[in-house]
Structure 1
Amino acid sequence: GAGDLDARVNDPRTADPARRQDEVAVVAGALDTMASALQRKLQAEQRFTADVAHELRTPLTGLSAAAELLPPGRPSELVQDRARALRALTEDLLEISRLDTGTEHVDLDVHELAPLAARVARGTGTVVEVTGEPVRVETDKRRLERVLGNLISNAHRHGRPPVVLTVDGPVVTVRDHGDGFPEYLRAGGPQRFRTEAGGKGHGLGLTIAAGQAEVMGAALTFGNAPDGGAVARLTLPHYVRLDGEAP
C-alpha cells in the first residue's frame, strides 16, 4: 500500500546482474533500492529518537532536583524553567518512541465531541465554534485531548490570532491566521526535527498529534486557508447509536 516501505517489486532479473536488464527491470531495481534507503533512514531516525529520550531522562531528573535546591531568585527561576522545558521535550521524545513501536492500544468509549473539544480549548484564548448537529464519537478521550491540545498549541505558537476551533459533526478544525503550513508539511505530514530557513520549525507537537490520530483511527490532514492561515482538520469515526440503545 501507499507509504509501505516494506513493499518491494522484487523483479527476479534485478537479482542476477548477468541477465539482460530492460527498462522495466532497471526501474524496478531503482525503486527497490530507494525504498530500502528510505527504510534505513526512517529506522535510524526512530532509534535516534528513542536513544536520545532515554539517555536524557536520568540526568534531567537529577538536574530538576538540583534546581529545586537553588536559593530563591531570578537565576533559580530561569534554571527551573529550562529544566521543565527539557523535561517536556524528553517526554515528547519518549511518546514518539512509543508511537514508533506500533504497540499502542486505545481505550475506547463514547463521548460528546463538541463539549470535549471546548474543554480542551478553554483558557487558551481560542475561539470555539460548533456547527451542524451534535454528534457522539467512539474514541480514546486521553489521546483525543492530546491531539487537540497539540494542534491548538501549535496554532498559537506558530500562527497568528485569532485561533479558531470548529466542531462540525465528527470533524474538528483548528485554524490560525498566520503564514500557513509549509509545503513539505502539507504534502507529507509532520517531520520530526525538521526546521525551515532561519531555524523555525513546528517542533514535535504535530508529529505526536499525527501519531496519536493514527492510533485512534482518525484522519488528520494539514492545509492552508484560501485567505491565509494554517488549517489542521481531524476527522473522527462517527458513533452511530444502535436501535434501542439509551441516548
Structure 2
Amino acid sequence: MSLRWKITATITLVSVLVAVALSLTVHFAYAYRLADEARQLQSERIELALREYSRTGQATLGTRLDPPDLPTQLRQAVKDGSTATLLEDTGDGAVIWAAAAVPEQQVLSLRSPYDPQLRALASLDRVLVMGALTVVALGAGAGVVIGAQLSVRLRRAAAAAGRVAEGDRSTRVSAAIGSGSRDEAGELARSVDAMADALQSRIEAERRVTADIAHELRTPLTGLTTAAELLPPGRPAELVRDRVRVLRALVEDVLEVARLDTATERAELSEVALGAFTTRRAAPYAPEVETRVRADAVVDTDPRRLERILTNLITNALKHGAPPVVVEVDGARITVRDHGSGFPDELLSEGPSRFRKWPGGSGGHGLGLTIALGQANVLGARLTFANPADGGALAILDLAPDEHGHPPHSGERPRTRS
C-alpha cells in the first residue's frame, strides 16, 4: 500500500473512531436526559394525584388503584411508603410508571407512554448518523488530499534523485518538490542535494587527479618508448618494450575512462551494417571466436566506439572465460558469450567497476568492461551482463533500446555510410 493510501486510511479510521465516540456520547447523554425528565414529570404527577387521593379518596389525574398490569418490582419498591418510577418495555412500546403506597395496602399508580421520547431519540440518532458520515467523508477526503500532496512530492523527489544517480548534475531534489517547503520532505530533499553535491565534488576531484596523473605520465612514457626502441636486440629489450606497451595501454585506458566520466563525449554517427561490421572486427580473433549473423540490420551508430565495445567484450571473454567464444548478431542486438565460470555476482549486481579484478582472473586492470559500458552510454545503447542457466557469461549490446528502433543520441553529427 502506498503512503498516500496509508495516510488516507489512517485519517479515515481516526475520523470513524471520533465520530462514533461523539455520537455514542451524545446519544446516551440525551437518552439519560429524556428518561430523567420523564421520571421527574411522573413523580410530580403521582404526588399531585396522591394529595388528591388523600383529600377525596378517589384516584384522579389518570391514576389507578392496584392495576393488574403493575410491574411486581414497582409494587415491591413502594411497600415502605415511598414513591418510585419505572421505565418498562412492554413489547408494543415503552411506558413509564409512577407509583405510591396508599392506606389499606393499596398502590396508586400512573402509566404514561414513552414513545414520544423514543421518537425524539431516534430523530437525534438520524442526525448523528448523518453527521458522522459527513465527518468520515470529510476526513477521508482530507486524507486523500494530504496523502496525494505528500505522495506527489515524494515521487518527484524519488524521480529527481534517480536522475541525479544517473549523472544529471543539474537536477536538484529540493527544486523538484518545491524549494520553499520547510517540512520534513523539504529537509530530506535539501539533505539529499547536499549529499549529492558532496559526492559530486569528491568524484570530480578524483577524476581530475586521475586525468592529471595519466596526462603527466604521457611525457615520460614517450621518452621511455623511444629509449626502449634504441635498446640492442635481445630478450631484455623485448621484455622492456612489452612492459612499456602495457603501461602505455593502461595510461590510454585511464585517459579514456576520464573522458567518458566527464559526460561530454559525443558520437559521430554513420550507417553501419552490423553483420558485416561485426564479422570483420571479430575475424582477428579466429579461430577462437565464432561469429553468427541471425538477422542483419543497418543502424545509426559510431563505428569507432562500436569497435571499441566489441574489442573489449571479446578480449574480456577470451581472458576471463573459456572457449568457445561466440559473437552473435540478431538485428540491432549483439551478444558476446563465453563458456567459462560466468560473471561475478558483484558485477551483475553493481555493474563494472574500474580496477576490480575477477577472482582467479588472468590479469587485466578492470577497465575493459568499464570502458565498454561508458562507450555504450555515449552511443545511447544498452549494455547488460548475465550468466545463462547452462553456464558461461553473456554480454548483450542493444543498439536500439527505445520503442522506435533507434537509440537516442545527443549532439549528432552528419551521417556517412560505413
TM-score bucket (shorter structure): 0.7 to 0.9
Residue in 2 that maps onto 1:163 = 325
Q: Is the 8 A contact 1:49 1:93 kept in 2?
A: yes
Deviations 1:180-221 (A, max 9, x none): 222232223222123456786662111111111111111111
Is 2:315 aligned against 1:134? no
Q: Distance in 2 between matches of 1:136 and 1:102?
A: 26
Structure 1, unpaired ranges of 5+: 240-247
Instruction: Tell me the distance in 1 between the aligned counterparts of 2:339 and 2:198.
Output: 38
How far apart, in 2, do the equivalents of 1:30 and 1:10 lie?
Answer: 9
Cα distance in 1 for partners of 2:358, 2:280 equals 32
Matched residues in 2 for 1:201 and 1:186: separation? Answer: 19
Partner of 2:256: 95
Amino acid at match of 1:77: E
Structure with bigger RCO (C-alpha 8 Å, 6+ apart): 1
Structure 2 match to 1:181? 343
SS in 1 for 2:346: helix
Which of 101, 112, 122 is the matching residue for 2:273? 112
Residues 82 and 197 (structure 1 numbering): CA distance in 2 closer, same or farther, change over 3 Å? same
Runs of 4+ in 1 over 6 A off after TM superposition: 198-201
Gaps of at least 5 residues in structure 2 are: 1-162, 407-418
C-alpha separation between the residues in 2 aligned to 1:198 and 1:37? 36
- TM-score, normalised with respect to structure 2: 0.51
Contact 1:5 1:38 in 2 (8 A): no
Q: Which moved more, 1:41-50 or 1:163-172?
A: 41-50
Letter in 2 for 1:135: A
Aligned sequence identity (%): 56
Structure 2 CA distance for aligned equivalents of residues 194 and 40 of structure 1:
23
Report the Cα distance in structure 1 between the residues aligned to 2:183 and 2:380, rounded to whole angstroms: 43
More helix by share: 2
Q: Measure, in 1, the Cα distance between the counterparts of 2:188 and 2:263.
A: 31
* Contact 1:159/1:178 (<8 A) preserved: yes
Q: Post-superposition shift, 1:160?
A: 1.3
- CA RMSD, aligned part only? 2.7
* 1:162 to 1:67, Cα distance in 2 relative to 1, 3 A: same
Partner of 1:10: 174
TM-score, normalised relative to structure 1: 0.83
Contact 1:162 1:176 in 2 (8 A): yes
Q: Provide, for residues 22-73 of structure 1, a one-character-per-residue CA deviation record: whole Å limited to 9, x for no partner.
A: 5x56654553454334323422332232112101100000111111111111
Aligned match for 2:229, one of 49, 68, 76: 68
Separation in 1 of the partners of 2:238 and 2:327?
A: 33
- How many residues matched? 232
8 Å CA contact 2:309–2:376 kept in 1: the answer is: yes
Cα distance in 2 for residues equivalent to 1:41 and 1:182:
28
Instruction: State the structure with more CA Rg.
Output: 2
